[in-house]
Structure 1
Amino acid sequence: MIRPPFLQTGDCVGVLALASQVSYATLTEGLRILREDWKLEVIEGKTLHTSYYQFSGTDEERRQDFQQMLDNPRIKAIFSARGGYGSSKIIDKLNFRNFKKHPKWVVGFSDITAIHAHLHKLGFESLHATMPKLFGQQGGADALESLRKALWGEGLHYEALRHDFNRFGRVSGQVVGGNLCLLAHLMGSRSELDTRGKILFLEDVEEYYYNLDRMMVQLQRAGKLSQLAGLVVGQFTDLKDNETIKFGKEAYEIIAEYVAPYDYPVCFDFPVGHVADNRAMVVGRQAQLSVTHEGVQLFYFH
């Protein structure tokens, strides 16, 4: 995998809204952190100030905003201010020719999973991590610091507590993954994720239990679970059940059922997802996952 250059004080970065519209007022603290705390020059995309129904702009406006930042050799990292929906609508119209000459970090999570998967197919590392709208939120200090460390090339070593559903083992492999809904959505497209021999991480938000089950069926039938090196199950937040007849299983029970036939290590309740403590995951980088009686460690190789 090709690794973009790590950031240095004074570097130029871009902030835009790749998917849903964002209120500019919610970015005050995030932009301040980038400029004052991290000492970066910030170019603001037009999509921080525009909207088109639920989106931050039309497909073409969002594509142009992203394309300009991909093409600008001064920009060393691109942050999506928030997720929502819409990244996958513009992927196939993007041109990565200049990006390949001057690689840069692309940062975001949730809907931005689509971009990470596409960049992974192109052979570039990227950062599934907290976004400027969420910088400074209560409980998010560790997540923000993990993003800073990732961007500045410092070591990343995460720990998680033991969970009853964990399956023990120690493996190494490339880390890939993100939002489960988006990974299922990308099946059959040019951005479909190859999970063979890799450490897959999953998270999601505001899904019905039956739909979570359906997406796990899709991953299983597509062969995305059978040849993993390991599985990291993050946070599945604000999930919903049927109003009348209940589905009968909760998120971790559903996932545990679909990985039961395989023997790779699995950890649950990892700090990644739609929560304040959303640790930065370097998509495409080699790491070691260790799941033991004492707990979980994920160590990225530098």
Structure 2
Amino acid sequence: MIQPKALQKGDTVGLVALACKVDFELIKPAIEVIEKVWGLNVVLGTSLTSKYHQFAGTDEIRARDFQMMLDDPNIKAIISARGGYGSSRLLDRIDFTQFIQHPKWVVGFSDITAVLCHIHNLNIESVHATMLKLFMQDGGEYALETLRKVLFGEPLAYHIPANALNKMGIAKGQLVGGNLAMLTHIIGSNSDIDTTGKILFLEDVGEYLYSIDRMMIQLKRSGKLKSLAGLIVGHFSDLEDNEVQFGKTANQIIEDAVAEYNFPVCYDFPVGHEPTNWAMPCGREVILTVENNGVWVKDAVNEPLI
């Protein structure tokens, strides 16, 4: 897996909206952080101020922005403004030839999961992390710092407390994953990912509990779970239920779906639609350690698998 070059102060990053429309006033503070705190220059996409129904401009506008930023050798990273829906509409319009020859960081989460998975299939790392609209949210300060650390090449080293549902073990593999709805959405497309031997992380927001179960069954039936090295379960936020209750929490639904497998599993990892959305470098080989006294996720380089 190719890792794009770490950013350095003075580098230029592109800012783009690949999905839903953006209130430009809300992302001005994020631009200020990138320029004044991180010491980077920015190129603003036309999509940041474009509107077409719910989208940040037409598919043509958004695709043109993304293509320009992928092809420009002076742009060293591309950061998404927000998710919502719409990025998967663009993927078959994009020519990744220049990007493959000159890889750069692409950042986003939620709907942008489709883009990150497509890039994974190009053998290039990307970053599942907070986006411009969410840079300044209360409680998100450390999440923003984890993004800065990944982009600037600092080593990955996360630790969280134990959870009673955790399944113990140690795994080594590439990080893949993101939004559960998007991961099921791309199955059968050329953005679909092979999860064999990898450490999958999952999150979602605003879904019905029965829908979480349906999507987990889809992952299971399509063979996405049986050969995992490990599973990281993130935030499942603002979930809904029917009048006749489903009877299980999201964590319990996922626990049932993977009960027959022997790989380590951890729950309530800080990734997803909460302020504590830690940056996850997709494609990075990491070591997941799940023990009674906590969970660790670290870069596999220089870390022995005990």
Task: Report the TM range for the smaller structure's normalisation.
Answer: over 0.9
Unpaired runs of 5+ residues, structure 2, are 302-306
Q: Tell me the equivalent position of 1:245.
A: 244
Q: Tell me the equivalent position of 1:7.
A: 7
Q: Distance in 2 between matches of 1:300 and 1:82?
A: 27
User: Are 2:30 and 2:132, in contact at CA under 8 Å, matched by a contact in 1?
Assistant: yes
Q: Tell me the equivalent position of 2:263.
A: 264
**Counterpart AA for 1:279:** W
Runs of 4+ in 1 over 2 A off after TM superposition: none
Q: Tell me the equivalent position of 1:281.
A: 280
Calculate the TM-score normalised by the size of structure 1: 0.99
Residues 1:99 and 2:99 aligned together: yes
User: Are 2:172 and 2:300, in contact at CA under 8 Å, matched by a contact in 1?
Assistant: no
Q: Distance in 1 between matches of 2:292 and 2:3?
A: 34
Q: Distance in 2 between matches of 1:47 and 1:24?
A: 10
**Counterpart AA for 1:255:** I
Q: Tell me the equivalent position of 1:19.
A: 19
Moved more, 200-209 or 136-145: 136-145
- Per-residue CA distance 1:76-103 (angstroms, 9 max, x = gap): 0000100110010010110011111211
Q: Distance in 2 between matches of 1:301 and 1:254?
A: 30
SS in structure 1 of the partner of residue 215 of structure 2: helix
SS in structure 2 of the partner of residue 248 of structure 1: coil
Q: Distance in 1 between matches of 2:3 and 2:159?
A: 24
Q: Tell me the equivalent position of 1:139.
A: 139
Q: Tell me the equivalent position of 2:77.
A: 77
User: Are 2:175 and 2:284, in contact at CA under 8 Å, matched by a contact in 1?
Assistant: yes
Shift of 1:301: 3.0
**Counterpart AA for 1:248:** G
SS in structure 2 of the partner of residue 122 of structure 1: coil
Q: Distance in 2 between matches of 1:3 and 1:295?
A: 28
- Per-residue CA distance 1:132-167 (angstroms, 9 max, x = gap): 111121111110111011001001111111111100
Count of aligned pairs between the two proteins = 301
SS in structure 2 of the partner of residue 43 of structure 1: strand
Shift of 1:245: 0.9
Calculate the TM-score normalised by the size of structure 2: 0.97
Q: Distance in 1 between matches of 2:30 and 2:17?
A: 13
Q: Tell me the equivalent position of 2:173.
A: 173
Q: Distance in 1 between matches of 2:23 and 2:241?
A: 31
RMSD: 0.7
Shift of 1:193: 1.2
Residues 1:183 and 2:183 aligned together: yes
Give identity over the alignment, percent.
Answer: 54
Q: Distance in 2 between matches of 1:282 and 1:289?
A: 14
Unpaired runs of 5+ residues, structure 1, are none
